[in-house]
Amino acid sequence: MMVGVVSDTHDNVEMVERAVEVLNSYELELVIHAGDIVAPFTLKRFSGLRAKMVCVFGNNDGEKTLLAKAASSLGIGISEQPLELEIGGRKILVFHGFGGARTTEIAARALASTGEYDVVVYGHTHEASIERLGSALVLNPGEVFGGLSGKSTLAVVDLEKMEATLVEL
């Protein structure tokens, strides 16, 4: 079972459209957005996805009511962080971030080290990272936005093999 993971789109519509194109080139069951969509018009660009989508709010998602309304009209799930999912027998925890980059990374590793989750997904830092802690994957897909790190990236996770791949847009 394959899952796509994106984060930190920050209204870069051109890169969101590219991300949708790339994600649709895989046989995905689900796409996870780890927050900072920003505006409802950006969320609507994900309507072309061939997979179901779920999202968590990030710290820059100020129009939560409008984002929730847009998500509902598109059949996209959106919620506050953290979001717990079970997909293909794997437990996944999704959050955007807490405080600064270092605090967010520490929180992700701490959650993974509990043994409660097979995959911990986070965003916020804009830095792509795939790490294995014990049997858990800790994954930050980086930023679709591309404006802070200089790279637009997303991730694809094979839940059967428990392997993740970063894809540069």
The pLDDT, as a whole number, for residue 14 is 97
Domain 2-168, CATH: 3.60.21.10
pLDDT score for 48: 96
Residue 153: name the closest of 3, 9, 2, 44 by CA. Answer: 9
Residue range 66-73: average pLDDT?
Answer: 97
Model confidence pLDDT, tens digit, residues 111-122: 999 999 999 999
Residue 25's pLDDT band, with cuts at 50, 70 and 90, is: very high
* Res 13: pLDDT: 97
C-alpha span between 56 and 62 (Å, rounded): 13
Round the CA-based radius of gyration of the chain to a whole number and report it: 14
- If you average pLDDT over every residue of the chain, what do you get? 97
Cα end-to-end span (Å), the chain: 22
Domain ranges of the chain: 2-168
Phi/psi for 114 (5° steps) reads -70, -20
Asked if 24 and 46 touch (Cβ cutoff 8 Å), the reply is: no
Distance in angstroms (rounded) separating the CA atoms of residues 129 and 140: 5
pLDDT at 141: 98
Pinpoint the alpha helices (H) of the chain: 13-23, 40-44, 64-74, 101-113
Q: What angle do CA 45, 108, 158 make, to 5 degrees?
A: 60
CA dihedral over 43, 7, 156, 85, signed as positive or negative: negative
